[in-house]
Chain A
Amino acid sequence: MIGALARMPSTLRTYGSSQVSNVIGLLIVAGALALTLQHVLQHDASFFFQILTIGLADGSIYALIALGYTMVYGIIELINFAHGDVFTLGAFISLALFPAFGIAEGKSGFGYVLPLLAVGVITMLLCGVINVAIERVAYRPLRHAPRLAPLITAIGMSSILEGAMYLWRGPFNLHYPDLLPATRLNIGGVSIGVKDLIVMTLAIVLVVAFTFFINLSKLGKAMRATAQDRDAAQLMGIDINRTIAATFFIGAMLAAAGGITYGLYISNVAFDLGFITGLIAFTAAVFGGIGNIPGAALGGLLIGLVRAFSDSYFDSSWTEVLIFGILIATLVFRPTGLLGMRVPEK
C-alpha cells in the first residue's frame, strides 16, 4: 500500500490534476446547490419560477455579450475589454434613434414592433461598423505584438468609449422607454411575466441564427478555421483581415442587440454601464469556456441564474463576491470552462 501511495504523485501527474480539481469543483457546486435548495424550499413555487425566469432573462442578455467576448478571444486571443462599452453604445444609439421613429413610452400596442426592429437593425449595423473601426485602429497594428499590448489597448479603448458617451449624454442615468408589454401569463398556477419571456426569446433567436451562420456559412467556416489555426487558414486562401473584421462586426451586432434588450428590460442605462456588465459577461464567457460559442451562451444563462438566486434567496451583498468567485474558481480548477476542451499545444 505504501508503494501505491508512493506512486500516487506520478499517477496524479499522469491523469493531470484535472481529476482532483474536477472533484473539488463538483463538491463546491453540489454544496452550493444544496444550500440554495434549502432556501428555495422555504418559499413557494410561484416565486421560484419568477426568479428562474428573471435569472434566465438577465442571463440571456449576458449571453449575447459573452458571445462577442468569446468570438474575439477565439480568433485573435484578445480579451476585448471594450466590448462591454459597445453593448452600452448599442443602448445609447438606439435611445437616440427612438424619436426619429416616433417611439416613446406610454403608448402601447403592436405598432412598435416594426419601428423597434428598424431601430434595432440600424443600431446593430452602426455598432458593427464602429467595432470594425476600433479593430482596425487599435488592435490590428498590435496583432504581432506581445499579448499584453492589445490587452492594455482594449482597456484604453474602453475608457475612450465611456468618455465619449459621458460627453454625449452626460453622467446621469438615462431612462430607456418601457415598451415591452406588462402582462403576465398564468402557467399552471405560476405567474410569469411576458417581458421576461420576450427577452429570452430575442436572445434565443439571435443565438440560434448566429450558430447557423457560424456552422453553415462560408464566412462562418472561415472564422472557425482562423480560430483553429491562423497560418493554415491563410495558406488555404482565407483573407485573415476580412475574417477578423467580420468577427468584430458580428460580435458588436450581438452586443448592440444585448444593449437594446437590456434597455427594454431594465429601463435604465448610464455611460459606465458597460464596465460591470462587461466584467460579468466576461466571467460568463470564461465560465462556459472561452473560445467556445455554446459555452458562452450557457455561461451567460448560468451567471444570470446565479445572480438572480443570490439576490433573492440570499444577501445581494454577496452576489458580486459569488460571481467573481466563480471566475477565480473556474480559472484555478477548470481553466477551459464548462464546455471547453483542452486544445493540444502546437
Chain B
Amino acid sequence: MVLDVSGLPTNTKGKHMVRARGLAVLIIATFVAFACGGGTSGSGSKGEIDIASDLPTSGADASSGLPTQEGANFAVTRAATVRGFTLKFVPFDDAVNGVHDPAHGVQNVQAMISNKLILGMVGPFNSNVAKAEIPVANAAPLAMMSPSNTNECLTVTYAYCQAADGFTAESLRPSTNNNYFRVAAPDTFQGPAMADFALKAAPAGLGITKIAVWDDEETFGQGVANNFAKEFAAKGGTVVDRKSYDPKAKSDFHDFLASAHDKGAQGIYVGGTSATGACKARGQMAGIFNPDIYYLGPDGIGDAQCLTDSGAMATSNMFATQGVADATQNPSAATIVAAYKVAYPGATNIGAYTFAGYDCAAILIDAIGRAIDANGGNLPSRAQVIAQMPLTKNFQGLTGVITLNAAGDQTTPTLQFQQVQNKAWVFKSQFAVGGTS
C-alpha cells in the first residue's frame, strides 16, 4: 500500500518528509543489523548450531540429571565448532518440585522446536518423560538422543507394550520416521541381568532363590520390575511377594517389609528411582530385616540420594545395574575423563550418566557434521540430521564403541553392575548385551 500524503495539510509536509526519511533509515538499519548479527562469535563462522538438553536438573532428580547435563555441556564446549559452524549448548530442566515431569518436558521440547537454531537434543533422562516427548519431537521433527532411557517399549514394539505401558514404539511416532535414539541398554536387559546375577551361586552371584519384588507404579519402575520377576521365576527362583506403591502416598514401608519377611524373602528388588522413594524402605529395615539382606534395583537407585535414604543400612549388600558402561574403565577415554574432572572438579559433578551424556552430545555433533557434508557444507535441516543418526557406525564414545540401529538402540549396549562400598556406588563388573542389528 502506497503512503498517500496528498490529502494531508500542507503545513505538515515538512514533517512527513522527515518521518518518511526516518522510517527508511530505520528499515535499512534493521536489515544491516540482521545481516551482521547472525554470527555471534565473529569472523569466519558460518553460523550457529545449537544442541539442547532436557534433563531433570533441580530437586531430588538433580543428583542424576545435573551431572548428565554437565557431561553433554562439556562435549559441546570441547567440540566448539562443527564444519565451521559455532556450537552452543542450550539446557532445559524438566523437573517440577524436584521430580521429573512429563508435561514440563513437553513444554521444553516445544520451546526447542520453535528455536530454529536447535538441531538436536540430549535427553530426556526418564522413560515416562520420553513417552510424552517423543511424539512431539517426532512431528517437528527433532533428533533426540537419550543417555539413560531404558524402557524397551520406547524403541521396539513388543506384544505386551500397549497393555503394560499404555503405548507402543509405533504409537509414539506419528510421522512413522524414527527421530529417537539412545545409548542406554533397554530394560529388557536390566531386569533379567540382575535376576540372573541374583540366582547365580556366590561368589559370582548372590545365590538367592526367594525374592520380594516391588515397583513404584511408574513406566520405568514397573517395566523393569516385571522383567526382573519374569526372568527370576523362569530361571528357577520364586517371587514370594509382589507389591506396588504410590510414591506420593507411601513413605512407611514397615508393612511391606513385614510382608516380605513373613514370606521368607532373601532379598528385595525395587523397580523405581530414588526420587520415587525406592530406597526409603532400606532405611526402615532395622528391626525387621538384618543388614545382610540383599537390596537390589535398577539404575534408578544407583545414585547418592539412595544411599542417603538408606542411612546406616547402606551396606555392601546393595546392588544396582546401570544401563551404560563405566567410562573410567575404558582406557581410550582416560584423557577426556581427566579433562572433564579438571573442568568439573566436584564429587557431585560425576554421575553414572555423565559420560553417556557426553557421548550423546558427541554423537549428535557427529551426525550434524555428516549432515552438513551431505548438504554440501551448508546448514542442514533437522530431518537431514535425523537421517544421519542411524548411520552412526563404530563411533568411538567414552562409554564404548557405539553403532546405532534404525529403531534407535545401540546394536551392542553395555550393562554395568554396581555395588555399595564405603557409602558409595562403585563399579563391580560390566558386559555387552544384545546383538540386535
A90→B37 CA distance, assembly (Å): 56
Residues of B371-425 whose CB lies within 8 A of A: none
List which B287-311 residues lie within 8 A (CB) of chain A: 287-288, 305, 308-311
Decide: A272 and B255 in contact? CB cutoff 8 A.
no
* A171 and B244 contact, CB distance less than 8 A: no
Contact B311–A267 (Cβ < 8 Å): yes
Q: Is B283 an interface residue (CB 8 A)?
A: yes
| Also in contact, A175 and B255, with CB within 8 A (given A44-B262, A50-B262, A315-B244) | no
Query: Which A residues are in CB contact (< 8 Å) with B63?
Result: 172
Are B308 and A173 closer than 8 Å at their CB atoms?
yes
Check: A10 CB closer than 8 A to any chain B CB.
Answer: no
Contacting B at CB under 8 A, from A143-195, are 170-175, 177-178, 180-184, 193-195
Count chain B CB atoms within 10 A of each CB in A182, A194, A319 and give the residue with the most.
A182
B246 & A172 in contact (Cβ 8 Å cutoff): no
Roughly how many angstroms separate A106 CA and B312 CA in the complex, as a whole number?
A: 6
Residue of B nearest to A308 (CB): B255
Of the candidates A43, A172, A267, A319, the one whose C-beta lies within 8 Å of that of B98 is A172
Structural contact, B255 and A172, CB atoms closer than 8 A: no
Contact (Cβ within 8 A) A316 B311: no
Partner of B255, one of A51, A105, A181, A265: A51
* Contact present for B309 and A268 (CB under 8 Å): yes
Q: Is A42 an interface residue (CB 8 A)?
A: no
B97: Cβ under 8 A from any A Cβ: yes
A178 & B311 in contact (Cβ 8 Å cutoff)? yes
CA distance A196 to B252 in the complex (A): 12
Q: State how many residues of chain B have any CB contact under 8 Å with chain A.
A: 36
Chain B proximity mask over A262-279: 1 for CB below 8 Å, otherwise 0:
000111100011001000
A77 within 8 A of B: no
A58 on the interface (CB 8 Å rule)? yes
Q: In the bound complex, what is the Cα–Cα distance between A184 and B98 (angstroms)?
A: 37
Determine the residue in chain B with the shortest Cβ distance to A50: B258
Please determine whether B262 and A172 come into contact, CB atoms closer than 8 angstroms. no
Docked-complex contact A178 and B283, CB < 8 angstroms: yes
Chain A count of residues within 8 A CB distance of the other chain: 44
Q: For the complex, what is the distance from the CA of A195 to the CA of B286, rounded to whole Å?
A: 10
B311 contacts A276, C-beta separation under 8 Å: no
Bound Cα distance A50, B258 (Å): 7
A51 with B311, Cβ < 8 A, contacts A171-B59, A268-B283, A317-B246 known? no
CA distance A265 to B255 in the complex (A): 13
Q: Give residues of chain A (257-303) contacting chain B, Cβ–Cβ below 8 Å.
A: 265-268, 272-273, 276
Q: Does B250 contact A (CB under 8 A)?
A: yes
Complex CA–CA separation, A255 to B250 (angstroms): 20
Query: B277's contact among A50, A54, A173, by CB below 8 Å, is which?
Result: A173
| B248 in the interface (beta carbon within 8 A) | yes
Given the contacts A193-B288, A317-B246, A311 and B255 also touching, CB distance less than 8 Å:
yes
**Chain B residues within an 8 Å CB radius of A46:** 262
B287/A54 in contact, CB under 8 A = no
Q: If the complex has contacts A173-B277, A317-B244, are A105 and B312 also in contact, measured as CB distance less than 8 A?
A: yes
Once A171-B98, A193-B288, A316-B245 are accepted as A-B contacts, the answer to whether A105 and B254 lie under 8 Å apart by CB is: no
**With A105-B311, A171-B58 given, is the CB distance from A316 to B246 under 8 Å?**
yes
| CB contact between B60 and one of A57, A173, A311 (< 8 Å): that residue | A173
Q: How far is the CA of A273 from the CA of B251 in the complex (A)?
A: 9
Question: Does B116 reach chain A (CB closer than 8 Å)?
Answer: no
- At the interface, yes or no: B179 with Cβ under 8 Å from chain A? no
Q: Flag if B258 contacts A47 (CB, 8 Å).
A: yes
Which of A44, A265, A312 has most B Cβ within 10 Å? A312
What are 18 A-B pairs with beta-carbon distances under 8 A? A43-B262, A46-B262, A47-B259, A54-B255, A105-B312, A172-B63, A178-B284, A180-B287, A183-B287, A265-B254, A267-B280, A267-B284, A268-B251, A268-B284, A273-B251, A311-B255, A316-B243, A319-B249
Known pairs A175-B310, A265-B254, A317-B244. 18 more at Cβ < 8 A? Answer: A44-B262, A50-B258, A50-B262, A54-B252, A105-B312, A171-B60, A172-B63, A173-B60, A173-B274, A173-B277, A173-B305, A178-B283, A183-B287, A266-B252, A312-B258, A316-B249, A316-B250, A319-B250
Binding site for B on A (CB under 8 A): 43-44, 46-47, 50-51, 54-55, 57-58, 105-106, 170-175, 177-178, 180-184, 193-196, 265-268, 272-273, 276, 308, 311-312, 315-317, 319-320
- Chain A to chain B: the 9 pairs with minimum beta-carbon distance, closest first: A171-B98, A182-B287, A171-B59, A182-B286, A267-B283, A50-B258, A312-B255, A47-B262, A54-B254
